[in-house]
Amino acid sequence: MTSAEPLKVAVTGAAGQIGYSLLFRLASGALAADRPIELRLLEIEPALKALEGVVMELDDCAFPLLAGVEIGSDAEKIFDGVNLALLVGARPRGPGMERGDLLSANGAIFTAQGKALNAVAADDVRIGVTGNPANTNALIAMTNAPDIPRERFSALTRLDHNRAISQLAAKTGAKVTDIKKMTIWGNHSATQYPDLFHAEVNGQNAAELVGDQAWLEGDFIPTVAKRGAAIIDARGSSSAASAASATIDAARDWLFGSAQDDWVSMAVVSKGEYDVPEGLISSFPVTTSGGDWSIVEGLEIDDFSRARIDASTAELADERKAVTELGLI
Ligand SMILES: NC(=O)C1=CN([C@@H]2O[C@H](COP(=O)(O)OP(=O)(O)OC[C@H]3O[C@@H](n4cnc5c(N)ncnc54)[C@H](O)[C@@H]3O)[C@@H](O)[C@H]2O)C=CC1
Ligand SMILES: O=C([O-])CC(=O)C(=O)O
């Protein structure tokens, strides 16, 4: 397609909390500053009236780049010809729950949406899953869309990545832009492993600069891994604006490329890299270019990191087993 044609972007769960931040940023050019965008918004029937109100507000912003908005509850109509699908719509967890507790409530959404994308999405479609449990929901959608290359599915760990950068910046007094090569490994869950051993602060190894294993183990890793729960405790509902922002960061870098001297974290299908079991959707360090990602290879993984990556991917394997037993894949 020519760059003058609108980018067709589907958002599911568009009347929800994340949708309320995401749609306005998409329409104002945060994804592609010089490209018109057409929004295709999917909701369940009872939420369509609320979504109509959100569309009224989008209209009222008179966004120059917004080329059209379509709403509906039929996935095959909404996904027709989309270049990017942001699968946000799913139930959020409440206090005391882990994201994996949502598997049976949310998993079925992703079988139906995977099938619909398989049937009608554009040939160049990219699919980003934000709805929790994001990695396994992406696995479900991918498995139910056999004609779409597996590399076109990704789950969101960019929020964790951004959280890790922010925590490290606060600890070292650096600016967030001084921090490069952050990595989140594994699942978007409390077992995720934010890795400082390959991260850099102004070119210096972050773990060496911090030089404080107790902080790394007792503070940094749990703060990042449990940030979602801390926000639920404080706000009474799960993170929304930051999740929308990370959803856009991830999609923008995927479609239009990431910085050459840096990498980002994306949960993508494993071909066995870093001994992550084949076929799991697990977070890795990746670079992106021309709409494709590639896993950064050749990083040395010490015993400390190995144990944490293994624990998180074991959880992903358990989730895969659970959704297989539920008949979702
Ligand atoms: N991966 C990440 O980093 C993050 C993921 N999340 C997850 O994102 C999801 C959405 O969160 P919120 O917007 O806060 O929830 P919300 O409850 O405010 O909105 C979810 C929306 O999805 C809609 N929905 C439900 N089933 C649907 C279906 N089959 N098709 C289309 N829409 C459907 C609901 O009607 C609702 O409007 C949750 O699962 C949450 O846990 C939230 C924050 C960060
Ligand atoms: O914690 C939650 O349930 C929402 C989420 O995924 C996050 O904020 O990382």
Contacts of 236-239 spanning 24+ positions with Cβ under 8 A:
237/17, 237/92, 238/17, 238/92, 238/93, 239/159
pLDDT of 18 above 90: yes
Q: Which 8-state DSSP code applies to residue 186? A: B
Q: State the complex-level ipTM.
A: 0.99
Which atom of ligand 2 is closest in space to residue 238's alpha carbon? Answer: 4
Q: Which residues pair with 288 in a beta bridge?
A: 293
Q: Rounded to the nearest whole angstrom, what is the distance from the C-alpha of residue 101 to the centroid of ligand 2?
A: 12
Per-residue confidence (pLDDT) for residue 94, from 0 to 100: 86
Three-state secondary structure of 280-298: CEEEEEEEEECCEEEECCC
pLDDT of 165 above 80: yes
What would the pLDDT profile of 234-292 be if each residue is shown by its tens digit? 999 999 999 999 999 999 999 999 988 999 999 999 999 999 999 999 999 999 999 99
For residue 193, which amino acid is it? Y
Annotated binding residues for substrate, written as ranges, equal 93, 99, 132, 163
Asked whether the beta carbons of 23 and 54 are under 8 A apart, the reply is yes
Which atom of ligand 1 is closest in space to residue 129's alpha carbon? Answer: 1
Mutate which of 136, 231, 265 for ligand 2 pocket (most atoms within 8 A of beta carbon): 231
Please state the pTM of the whole predicted model: 0.98
What would the pLDDT profile of 30-60 be if each residue is shown by its tens digit? 999 999 999 999 999 999 999 999 999 999 9
Locus of tokens 């995977």: 114
* Rounded Cα–Cα distance for residues 302 and 204 (Å): 19
